[in-house]
Amino acid sequence: QVQLVESGGGLVQAGGSLRLSCAASGRTFSRNTMGWFRQAPGKEREFVAAITWIGSSTYYADSVKGRFTISRDYAKNALYLQMNSLKPDDTGVYYCAARGSGPMTAKESNYGYWGQGTQVTVSS
């Protein structure tokens, strides 16, 4: 059974930092694109960042570019999201996702594996 489990969320003041982690089990995703999405209250889930299986290419939503960094640890089968200079607009539930196959993409429907999410709250 494939599982993606996020951790690292919490409450932080604007300008602060958080590092999200996603632990994968049940299969290895070393050859798969992985990504982070988020959902703010009352809004649809949106793309945040993605990274290719080889880790040499990354892609960010314009709203987080320059502030967030996505990375992965192949040995640990894990995915990370370093979030700096957080803003209240970054508040939401953050989800880890993995593609079964295919290139890097921001399209939610292309990801077949999802975690349960971790709450990030940024206070002003």
Cβ(9)–Cβ(118) under 8 Å? Answer: yes
Predicted pLDDT of residue 124: 94
- Report, as an integer, the average pLDDT of 9-29: 93
Angle at 47 between CA 11 and CA 14, to 5 degrees: 25
Predicted pLDDT of residue 55: 62
- pLDDT at residue 60 greater than cutoff 70: yes
How many CB atoms are located within 10 Å of the residue 29 CB?
22
pLDDT in tens, 34-51: 999 999 999 999 999 999
Q: How far apart (Å, rounded) are the C-alpha atoms in residues 4 and 89? A: 25
Distance from chain centroid for Cα 20 = 7
Cβ(77)–Cβ(29) under 8 Å? Answer: yes
pLDDT in tens, 71-107: 998 888 899 999 999 999 999 999 999 988 888 889 9
Predicted pLDDT of residue 46: 98
Cβ(106)–Cβ(49) under 8 Å? Answer: no
